[in-house]
Amino acid sequence: MPYPSDRERDRPWVMRTYAGHSSAAASNALYRRNLAKGQTGLSVAFDLPTQTGYDPDHELAKGEVGKVGVPISHIGDMRQLFDGIPLAEANTSMTINATAMWLFALYVAVAEEQGADISKLSGTTQNDIIKEYLSRGTYVFPPGPSLRLITDMVAWAVHHVPKWNPINICSYHLQEAGATPVQEVAYALCTAIAVLDAVFDAGQVPEDRKGDVVARISFFVNAGVRFVEEMCKMRAFAALWDEITRDRYGIENPRHRRFRYGVQVNSLGLTESQPENNVQRIVLEMLAVTLSRNARARAIQLPAWNEALGLPRPWDQQWALRMQQVLAYETDLLEYQDIFDGSPVIEAKVEEIMAGAREEIDRVQAMGGAVAAVESGYMKSQLVGSLAERRRRIESGEEIIVGVNKFDTTEPSPLQAEGAKAIETVAPEVEQAAVEAVQAWRAGRDAAAVDTALRDLRDAAKTDTNLVEATLACARAGVTTGEWAGALREVFGEYRAPTGVSAAAAGGEAGEELAAVRERVKATGEELGERLRMLVGKPGLDGHSNGAEQIAVRARDVGFEVIYQGIRLTPAEIVAAAVQEGVHVVGLSVLSGSHMEVVPAVVDGLRQAGAGDIPVVAGGIIPAEDAALLEERGVTKVFTPKDYALTTIMNSIVDVVRAAHGLPT
């Protein structure tokens, strides 16, 4: 086969930046600027209330509105978000899972208002609920009803919006939760099997359209800095997907079996220490998903250099976009066939990953599939254990992170010279404006039409009727995000996924430092006359539980009795648990930017409950200026990503407990 010449260059992948914050109007302006800079697709980040089915005025939404994405409460917000952007011409990716059907319905309804032929709409809704139970935490309903929502949406999209990807199976967050390449491939493909089995068993798609269903299943993956291994992972993904769709589902057309994926490279691997090093990390990670032509990403979005510090500014996102454009347009990458075909080294590594993934897929299928492996806690505990092992390697120095555990001397960074201005901040007034806006929206709509639409939705949910049409009717009637999710909560119930903490341990961690801290915990307990107890809490809607889980595992390994109830707790619930359990310290983990609201609420709540003597420590993506303010508000100590050594953190927490009880530290 002849190699491509300049005249035969491959088309570049779709270039996106993951964006959205504050309000629909502010995000719309950001999208227009990004498109003008050469971005070829939109990637919408929704805030946590939108992702978890709450309106801005709900108690759990406090402090979370507009922080990690744009708040979309109803069709009016969706109109504003895409004002001046013709949806018939757009390629839009929406990172939304539990409420994917709702946001998709709003998008379709706005496209109809614009006069678009909805059969021509192109884009993707993430819609992978399995990984939410395992890693990201923005699930709402139990696994069964959640899979039903996905099934309905896949079937409806194949019939009515055939160019839309109704789901992308998301292994991205699995890697961030600790997955090895084998686990990432295996668990993502187990999820795809669960979805396809459910769709085909539902009987909503005729036999001759099975290939169309498979062709619209896309994937969203992570790429770490070990870019040779990551590239081999992508080749393994593509080969296994072809194998599964051919052998398990009998899909004959090779085009239907093609592995189609988008990517964002690793964000949680970015460092707060020497953040300028993140630039080369991002570029190297991008190579993992572009170098191999036969496993090249169809769409790429890159994080910004400063995402370990907070929200990136428009300039930071522009820099990330320019990285893609330089690779696609200045280099000769797109001029050649796959440069790794025939390499014995690459072939051996790909086969190793495939063999391990097949074995793990078989293990999960023997348990009853992905849903059963979620409900039993198996997959979650495997991820928590893998991440604990990686943390151990970093702390021991076996795995080097430049600027963190090696080569940590540094010059002052001019990129951070502006201090707090080096990141995007969301004004406190944004939340109040959103609260007032949604209340005004409710007051100004046709209440009878809303009641009818919600009643029809609840009634349909009690049957096996496809729920997309009822959801579209809700969107057109002016129903809000919280009302749509609330109606389905009434029928489906809610769910709290296994944490995986009880079955995981810091494998191999038996060093002198850990033994010394364990002895301090034991001795302090003896001095106080009881075993030390620590409550690890996740206040608000932040579902990134990896850090909290690792703290809980390490606290247990050094001898604390640990109370960890999982994600999505109100400050009042955390206070009640701390008082009831008689804990010696409360540790709060927040990565969503809501720390200035939810953390002081816990401190104040403990004081009001007569337990103000229980010290509170906090950890997360917390700027130095905010850390100082939290300490003024009564937080004893603040840990940030630069505090990577968990055993050292445990030692500091022992000091906090001892100081709180008047013991020498």
Does residue 478 or residue 567 have the better pLDDT? 478
Please check whether residues 393 and 528 belong to one and the same domain: no
Asked if 242 and 193 count as a contact pair (C-beta separation under 8 A), the reply is no
Per the domain annotation, does 452 fall within a domain?
A: no
pLDDT in tens, 314-356: 899 999 999 999 999 999 999 999 999 999 999 999 999 999 9
Displacement of CA 209 from its chain's centroid (Å): 31
Same-domain status, 68 and 190: yes
Query: What is the predicted pLDDT for the residue at 363?
Result: 97
Look at residue 462 and tell me whether its pLDDT is greater than 70. yes
β-strands 217-221, 299-301: how paired?
Answer: unpaired
**Which of 248-262, 566-580, 613-627 has the largest mean confidence?**
248-262
Strand ranges across the sheet with 616-620: 561-564, 533-537, 585-590, 616-620, 637-639
Q: Is 593 left (phi over 0), alpha (psi -120 to 50) or beta?
A: left
> What H or E segment, with its residue span, contains residue 358?
helix 344-366
Query: What amino acid occupies position 83?
Result: D
Section 373-388 average pLDDT: 90
| pLDDT at 507 (0 to 100) | 47
Number of C-beta neighbours around residue 36 at 10 A:
8
Q: Look at the chain and report how many structural domains it folds into.
A: 2
SS3 289: coil
Stretch (H or E) spanning 81: helix 75-81
Predicted local distance difference test score (pLDDT) of residue 549 = 87
Quick check: is 524 in a domain? yes
The confidence band for 278, taking pLDDT boundaries of 50, 70 and 90, is very high
Q: In this prediction, what percent of the chain has a pLDDT beyond 70?
A: 97
Tokens 């990403």 found at: 297
Supply the pLDDT for residue 492: 96
Residues 6 or more apart whose Cβ sits within 8 Å of residue 345: none
Please report whether residue 545 resides in a domain: yes
Does 506 score more than 80 pLDDT? no
Percent of the chain with pLDDT over 90: 74
Contact assessment for residue 265 and residue 282, using Cβ atoms and an 8 Å cutoff: yes
Q: What is the pLDDT of residue 114?
A: 97
Q: What is the CATH number of the domain that holds 126?
A: 3.20.20.240
Residue 177 lies in a domain: yes
Q: Which residue has the tokens 């430092």?
A: 513
User: Residue 409: pLDDT above 50?
Assistant: yes
pLDDT 10s digits, 246-276: 999 999 999 999 999 999 998 888 988 899 9
504: pLDDT strictly greater than 60: no
Q: How confident is the model at residue 391 (pLDDT cuts 50, 70, 90)?
A: confident
**Can you give the residue range of the structural domain that contains 566?**
512-661
CA-to-CA dists, residue 369 to 89, 518, 558, 567, angstroms: 38, 39, 35, 24
Tell me the one-letter amino acid at 69: G
pLDDT band at 68, cuts 50/70/90? confident
Burial of residue 462 (CB within 10 Å: 0-12, 13-18, 19+) is exposed
Q: What is the pLDDT of residue 3?
A: 57
Average pLDDT over residues 31-38: 92
State the chain's mean pLDDT as an integer: 92
Mean pLDDT computed over 485-506 = 79
For the ranges 8-12, 183-187, 570-574, the lowest mean pLDDT is seen at 8-12
pLDDT score for 245:
97
Catalytic annotation, residues: 18, 172-173, 538, 542, 544
Do both 394 and 516 map to the same domain? no
Of residues 42, 62, 126, 89, the one with CA closest to residue 428: 62
Per-residue pLDDT band for 623 (boundaries 50, 70, 90) equals confident
pLDDT band at 500 (very low <50, low <70, confident <90, very high): low
Mean pLDDT, residues 360-384 taken together: 94
Q: pTM (2 decimals)?
A: 0.89
Sequence-distant (6+) residues with CB within 8 A of 192 are: 169, 217, 219, 241, 244
3-class DSSP state for residue 308?
coil
Work out the average pLDDT over 553-573.
90
374 and 521 assigned to the same domain = no
Helix axes 378-396, 181-202, angle to 10 degrees: 160
Q: Is 505 contained in some domain?
A: no
For helices 378-396 and 646-660, angle between their N-to-C axes, nearest 10 degrees: 90
Q: What pLDDT was estimated at residue 559?
A: 93
Of 388, 419, 450, the position where a domain reaches its end is 419
Same domain, 536 and 392: no
The pLDDT value recorded for residue 5 is 52
Question: Does the pLDDT value for residue 162 go beyond 70?
Answer: yes
Does residue 567 surpass a pLDDT of 90? no
Instruction: Report yes or no on 426 lying in a domain.
Output: no
Angle at 28 between CA 25 and CA 31, to 5 degrees: 155
The answer to whether residue 192 is domain-embedded is yes
**Residue 421 confidence (pLDDT) above 80:** no
According to the model, what pLDDT value does residue 414 have?
87
Please check whether residues 77 and 207 belong to one and the same domain: yes
**Across residues 70-81, what is the average pLDDT?**
97
In contact, 261 and 219? CB cutoff 8 Å: yes
Average pLDDT of 408-421?
Answer: 81
- pLDDT by residue (tens digit) across 117-131? 999 999 999 999 999
CATH number of the domain enclosing 559: 3.40.50.280
Does pLDDT of 508 surpass 60? Answer: no
Q: What is the pLDDT of residues 48-57, one digit of tens each?
A: 999 999 999 9
What are φ and ψ of residue 544, in 5° steps? -70, 95
